[in-house]
Structure 1
């Protein structure tokens, strides 16, 4: 038991040491990459950013800067791809939204999206406004407030104050439950709505997952699609106007 305990401590220390070294390495790479970016040495800067990405460290700033380089060098698909990845991590960042809009204008496909339902509009405006991690943190903060209000209610001798603390604690419970529901719905949406970007200059979408099947329509690099199903080397996709079909997996990259 003692040996295991020592081994556990060693592994824990090693994990934190490695994590710290990775973070320090990423910080130095990011600083160097930003300097190169400011000097308009985009290829060198991109190489530094990609080294950070290989460390499996994610940040909206990293993806945003990578997307900017791809946009400036007229690489449509990776520009849209990394703007989308940045937006997933920071869905309220206006700079990301604006730059993504500019990048989308470079896409050849002009797809008219189906109007959203009331629930979809609510999802986008409220539930997807924050990440599920943020909603979870809000729920935890509200739970702490509820506990504090409950204690104040319990130890208060004033009837008026007890009434106020009781009502506000009930409201806190409602807000905690709502935040948890939003966190759950957000996570469920993210897990069940796998999006991807077309990376091939032109990709054929067929009506069946076979090479001999009929071509239904064609998509071009940068277009975002929703992955519905995977079968061998084929993906069943759906685009914004509701059309569905099968495409070879190599033609796209999941966000």
Structure 2
């Protein structure tokens, strides 16, 4: 049974690698639609952000700048410091919106936190929790006053790092599972005051990133530049 599971796992890895390699081959052969299909299949099975970047390049070659920009920015959700994705998103946005400048979806703090998975931050939290326990143990032992002060200092420092890494783990987890932004592939999108009810006449702009505040069923609440919040159907937008 164990050998069978190992064989299945190895087969899955091989198939995933095959999809990525097929995508690269199709892209180099200028068969961009086939490349998109292969990269999408590999993304679905591996969650490797390189596929998202390659999807952006493929859509760009098909002269689909809206989708290309979407995939370049989606790459940054999983790899926030990807310099190629940052450059292409910035350059493409400037071409599509003359006189406007692209801004990274995440602050420098977010880019640092989201660079690591929630599991990595959780392991760091465990490490600092152990250090905190050790510092408390040292402080409670009978010894010289100077050593006690060192132990107390250790408690403060490790507690700060423990709290920071714990919060980072929480934010990192929420970041990867939540839908944070929405792009509009077209302008004639229905908007609502509440999910699927009370239509509005609000016209949304193309090539703009909208912050998603919450999700309910198949609808997303997005925030406009004016601060107004409206609902759109998730199927009508590109979201990540």
- With structure 1 as the length reference, what TM-score do the two structures score? 0.68
Matches within 5 A, 1:240-251: 240-251=225-236
1 or 2 for the larger relative contact order (CA 8 Å, sep ≥6)? 1
User: 2:218 matched to 1:218?
Assistant: no
The structure 2 residue matched to 1:182, chosen from 157, 168, 181, is 168
Deviation per CA, 1:114-139, whole angstroms, max 9, x where unpaired? xxxxxxxxx82224522252433433
Paired with 1:188 and 1:128, the residues of 2 have a C-alpha distance of: 14
Please report how far the alpha carbon of residue 68 of structure 1 lies from its aligned counterpart in structure 2 after TM superposition.
1.5
For 2:108 and 2:51, locate their aligned partners in 1 and report how far apart those are by CA, in whole Å. 25
* Aligned twin of 1:25: 15
Say whether 1:87 aligns with 2:80. no
State the shift of 1:187 in Å.
3.6
Q: Unmatched 5+ residue regions in structure 2?
A: none
> 1:60-95: CA deviations, max 9, x gaps?
211111112112322123212222221111112222
Question: How many residues matched?
Answer: 233
TM-score, normalised relative to structure 2: 0.72
Moved more, 238-247 or 86-95: 238-247
What is the rounded CA distance, in whole Å, between the counterparts of 1:203 and 1:226 in structure 2?
A: 19
Instruction: Provide the C-alpha distance between the structure 2 equivalents of 1:212 and 1:153, rounded to a whole number of angstroms.
Output: 63
Q: What is the aligned counterpart of 2:27 among 9, 27, 37?
A: 37
CA distance in 1, matches of 2:198, 2:147: 75
- 1: CA distance, partners of 2:95 / 2:190: 21
Residues 122 and 166 in structure 2, CA contact (< 8 A), matched pair in contact too: yes
Flag structure 1 segments of 5+ consecutive residues without an equivalent: 1-9, 114-122
Question: Which residue in the other structure is 1:203 paired with?
Answer: 188
Conserved? CA contact 1:142–1:175, under 8 Å: yes
Alignment RMSD (CA, Å): 4.0
Contact 1:208–1:246 (CA under 8 A) maintained in structure 2: yes
Farther-moved stretch of structure 1 (73-82 vs 166-175): 166-175
Task: Describe the SS at the equivalent of 1:237.
Answer: strand
Alignment of 1:93-132 (within 5 A): 93-107=82-96, 124-131=107-114, 132=117
